Amino acid sequence: MTKTPVSDRGFGPARHAELALLLEVAGTPKPGNVDRRRDLSDLHFEHFLTGAVGSASGLRLAEDGASVGEAFETAVAGMSEQGGGNTQFGCLLLLVPLVRAAAAGDLSPTGVTDVVEQTTVDDAVSFYRAFEHVDVAVGDPPEDAPALDVRRGADAESTLRGQGLTFYDVMELSADRDANGREWTGGFTRTFCAAESILADEGPVTDRVARAFLDLLAEEPDTLVVTNHGAAVARDVMDRAAAVSNPDEAEKLAESFVAEGINPGTTADIVCAATFIALERGVPL
């Protein structure tokens, strides 16, 4: 008997977020990133699967109305319980407020903006503590704010409290140089646009995710590539993604990026968050 793909799975936002993490890593090819066909030297497909399952407790907290900071730190702590290290820190940074918005019945740019703008100083402290669970590749802080370097972890608490900085404030400080920060402070614009692309596309969701990834990568330089390789390389990566015109070229680019050590991880974060929105809006599986 042939079964029809299911749009109404009866899943809550937390389960859809966990599923989005799994579908994102299963999508292939996503040039430069781990997928079901290729590993990186230190990050493997199984690490991402384990990280997705490990993050579930934090995602459930977000669905149940816990603070964004608490839910995020809990999700990151659970995600870190595998041998690869940081698999989905950035994905969770976007997913947690989206889960909160969905659970509140307003998964929209306005709804998620309300969630992030209501974050507190305690949430910011939890965000910084999350960096103690995994090593995250980040750029240097603004020259006038060395005390706010996220790599300080919990040691930054006194600075955060002294300046009264909320989680949203911290993300706003990084928005000029970090794509995830821009999502937080800009209504998750690219995330919602990519979700619409996934919904409008055809075929298996993992294929839709891979195509959405390439489209996003061609739009603007990837933050993680800028951090690890510089702006010129990131622009070249963007141009090479834009030149892809068929699946064979995408596969070749994927192999090239892995060989060159190029990992557009921030783009994967956004496509993961977009996959969550598409799932919440009924993309069939």
What is residue 2's predicted lDDT score, i.e. its pLDDT?
54
Three-class SS state of 268:
helix
What is residue 147's predicted lDDT score, i.e. its pLDDT?
80
Asked if residue 7 is part of any domain, the answer here is: no
Asked if residue 170 is part of any domain, the answer here is: yes
Q: 199-213: b or e for each residue (b if 16 or more CB lie within 10 Å)?
A: bebeeebbebbbbbb
Asked if residue 4 is part of any domain, the answer here is: no
From CA 9, how far away is CA 222, in angstroms rounded? Answer: 33
Its pTM stands at 0.95
Asked if residue 126 is part of any domain, the answer here is: yes
Whether 1 shows a pLDDT value over 60: the answer reads: no
Count structural domains, the chain.
1
What is residue 143's predicted lDDT score, i.e. its pLDDT?
61
Whether 144 shows a pLDDT value over 80: the answer reads: no
The domain spanning residue 109 has which CATH number? Answer: 1.10.4200.10
Asked if residue 87 is part of any domain, the answer here is: yes
What residues form DSSP beta bridges with 38? Answer: 35
CA separation, residue 203 to residues 52, 77, 170, 246 (Å): 24, 34, 39, 15
31-42 pLDDT, tens per residue? 999 999 999 999
**pLDDT band, residue 139 (cuts 50/70/90):** low
Asked if residue 159 is part of any domain, the answer here is: yes
Whether 3 shows a pLDDT value over 70: the answer reads: no
Asked if residue 1 is part of any domain, the answer here is: no
Tokens 């998964």, residue?
107
The boundaries of the domain holding residue 119 are: 13-280
What is residue 277's predicted lDDT score, i.e. its pLDDT?
98
Whether 146 shows a pLDDT value over 80: the answer reads: no
Whether 137 shows a pLDDT value over 90: the answer reads: no
From CA 130, how far away is CA 62, in angstroms rounded? Answer: 15
Asked if residue 285 is part of any domain, the answer here is: no
